[in-house]
């Protein structure tokens, strides 16, 4: 065991004062940060009234929207005529086409109709006097003969009785609405209906093998057009999914992000040299340009898009302009700060040879800043692909506007899912490509 005397101890304290004579901030700084974080969290809970917010939130809508993202429904309506016959009607633009004859709908010998909602159960049997809903192991008759519909027997928990209507909630499979003279059924299917060919296409509802055979070697459906060309036109101009319009708008979004970022970087590059204090020794000019960059950055891209939409009208020009203004401010600040942090030794060495200012910048500054500038620009370009989608929703064009239109109807959530997936794929591709280019320019390996 080593014993340290008082002199040795004093010598150690003198040599390492930062360990033996810490300030109050050094000793209790971490604890103070923790306490401040906890206090702020409690304040946020109180300020936003989070318990009430979570209690009153419509969490059930999450499941509804997600189910609509991955499915579609068919809504046959059964009208009970005065003579006791049952007339079957489908909404306009039904996924089943103009003359549907689905195998899940069976006409019984007694004149009633049985609809299979999901496999063998639930089922709904509609007759002129009553509707029988079979689900969750029980059959519930609903009397529809005169007056308001009336449930015969106990009312199960999945059925709700109103004054003139009885609603049966069958979960993801669908629902049934029963009134005196009509029964409306919503039957849900997994998948995206008519994603390739819509109901107006010559290839609609044909098996895959038959479609391939027609395209490869079958007789022409239209004498003046090949089947391959006809199939492509039907897919591109699909009236339900609008593939052509969606992909065109997606390309507009990519072009908006590229053009706005490119113009912003080209504008910010020379201005950054004038804003950097070590490059341009004019403090007034430095400050004016830096405040100009701050102004362009402080106005959000969405606000710029609103201004430019009013000026130029809706379209990609307004979106490109909004990205250009925002990126001029953002990249101008990043570029000027990068220039102010360069190593001045190469620059001073080249200047000492009597080289002109252009050559000093070319050989003393550019080799240091180009990889950093390109890396920053690529990151902003990648970010603007996402930003261009948001500003499109306010009229700046691109797929953002298309996405907003689909969401506003509150009915085309499968179309929303389609566009969201396309956006995710594009962002993933650009993120991967941008990372690869940045690592190559910076001379680092991708892990």
Cβ count near 84 (within 10 Å) = 10
Q: How far apart are CA 173 and CA 161, in angstroms?
A: 20
Which pLDDT belongs to residue 394? Answer: 79
Mean pLDDT for the chain overall = 86
Average pLDDT of the residues in 247-263? 92
* Confidence check: pLDDT of 19 > 90: no
Distances (CA, A) of 126 to 105, 167, 355: 11, 14, 94
The string of pLDDT tens digits covering residues 54-97 is 888 888 778 878 888 889 989 999 998 877 788 999 888 888 88
Q: Work out the percent of the chain whose per-residue pLDDT is above 90.
A: 32
Lowest mean pLDDT among 83-97, 260-274, 328-342, 356-370: 356-370
Beta-carbon contacts of 389 under 8 Å, excluding residues fewer than 6 positions away, are 253, 398, 399, 400, 403, 423
Do you find a cis peptide bond into 158, omega within 30 degrees of 0?
no
Which pLDDT belongs to residue 359? Answer: 80
The string of pLDDT tens digits covering residues 33-56 is 999 999 999 999 999 888 988 888
Quickly state the pLDDT bin for 116 (edges 50, 70, 90).
Answer: very high
Which pLDDT belongs to residue 20? Answer: 62
Q: How far apart are CA 241 and CA 332, in angstroms?
A: 41
Give the DSSP H or E segment for 217. none
Q: How far apart are CA 60 and CA 130, in angstroms?
A: 31
Which pLDDT belongs to residue 446? Answer: 55
Q: How far apart are CA 237 and CA 197, in angstroms?
A: 9
Helix-then-strand count for the chain, H and E: 16, 13
Distances (CA, A) of 262 to 75, 80, 386: 50, 65, 16
Which pLDDT belongs to residue 156? Answer: 92
Better-scored residue on pLDDT, 405 or 34 = 34
Give the DSSP H or E segment for 125. strand 123-126
Better-scored residue on pLDDT, 438 or 158 = 158
Quickly state the pLDDT bin for 132 (edges 50, 70, 90).
Answer: very high
Distances (CA, A) of 427 to 381, 388, 396: 11, 11, 19
Cβ count near 286 (within 10 Å) = 19
**H-only helix segments in 276-393:** 283-298, 301-312, 316-340, 344-351, 357-360, 366-391
pTM to 2 decimals?
Answer: 0.79
The string of pLDDT tens digits covering residues 203-220 is 988 889 999 999 888 888
* Confidence check: pLDDT of 367 > 90: no
Q: How far apart are CA 123 and CA 113, in angstroms?
A: 10
What are the residues facing 80 on neighbouring strands?
Answer: 86
What are the residues facing 142 on neighbouring strands?
Answer: 131, 151
Better-scored residue on pLDDT, 250 or 440 = 250
Q: How far apart are CA 75 and CA 97, in angstroms?
A: 12
Q: How far apart are CA 355 and CA 364, in angstroms?
A: 11
């Amino acid at each position: 065991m080593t014993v340290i005397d008082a002199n040795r101890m004093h010598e150690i304290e003198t040599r390492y004062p930062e360990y033996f004579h810490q300030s109050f901030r050094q000793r209790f700084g971490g604890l103070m940060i923790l306490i401040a974080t906890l206090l702020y969290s409690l304040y946020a809970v109180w300020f936003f009234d989070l318990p009430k917010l979570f209690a009153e939130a419509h969490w059930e809508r999450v499941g509804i929207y997600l189910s609509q993202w991955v499915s579609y429904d068919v809504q046959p309506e059964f009208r009970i005529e005065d003579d006791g016959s049952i007339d079957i009607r489908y909404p306009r633009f039904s996924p089943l086409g103009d003359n549907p004859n689905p195998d899940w709908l069976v006409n019984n010998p007694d004149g009633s109709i049985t609809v299979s909602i999901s496999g063998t159960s639930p089922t709904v049997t509609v007759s002129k006097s009553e509707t029988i809903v079979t689900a969750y192991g029980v059959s519930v008759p609903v009397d529809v003969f005169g007056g308001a519909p009336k449930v015969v027997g106990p009312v199960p928990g999945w059925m709700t009785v109103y004054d003139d209507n009885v609603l049966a909630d069958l979960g993801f499979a669908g629902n049934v609405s029963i009134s005196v003279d009509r029964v409306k059924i919503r039957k849900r299917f997994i998948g995206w209906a008519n994603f390739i060919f819509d109901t107006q296409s010559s290839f609609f509802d044909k098996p895959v093998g038959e479609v391939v055979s027609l395209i490869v070697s079958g007789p022409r459906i239209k004498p003046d057009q090949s089947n391959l060309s006809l199939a492509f036109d039907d897919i591109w101009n699909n009236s339900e999914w609008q593939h052509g319009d969606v992909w065109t708008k997606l390309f507009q979004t990519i072009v908006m992000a590229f053009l706005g970022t490119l113009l912003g970087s080209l504008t910010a590059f020379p201005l950054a040299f004038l804003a950097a204090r070590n490059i341009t020794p004019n403090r007034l000019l430095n400050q004016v340009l830096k405040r100009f960059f701050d102004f362009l950055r402080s106005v959000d891209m969405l606000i710029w898009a609103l201004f430019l939409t009013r000026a130029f009208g809706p379209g990609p020009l307004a979106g490109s302009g909004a990205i250009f203004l925002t990126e001029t401010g953002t990249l101008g600040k990043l570029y000027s700060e990068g220039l102010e942090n360069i190593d001045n030794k190469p620059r001073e060495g080249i200047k000492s040879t009597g080289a002109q200012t252009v050559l000093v910048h070319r050989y003393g500054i550019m080799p240091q800043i180009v990889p950093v500038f390109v890396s920053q620009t690529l990151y902003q370009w990648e970010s603007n692909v996402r930003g261009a989608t948001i500003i499109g929703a306010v009229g700046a064009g691109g797929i953002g506007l298309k996405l907003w239109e689909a969401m506003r109807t509150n009915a085309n959530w499968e179309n929303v899912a389609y566009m969201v997936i396309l956006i995710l794929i594009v962002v993933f591709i650009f993120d991967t490509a941008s990372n690869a280019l940045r690592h190559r320019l910076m001379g680092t390996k991708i892990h």
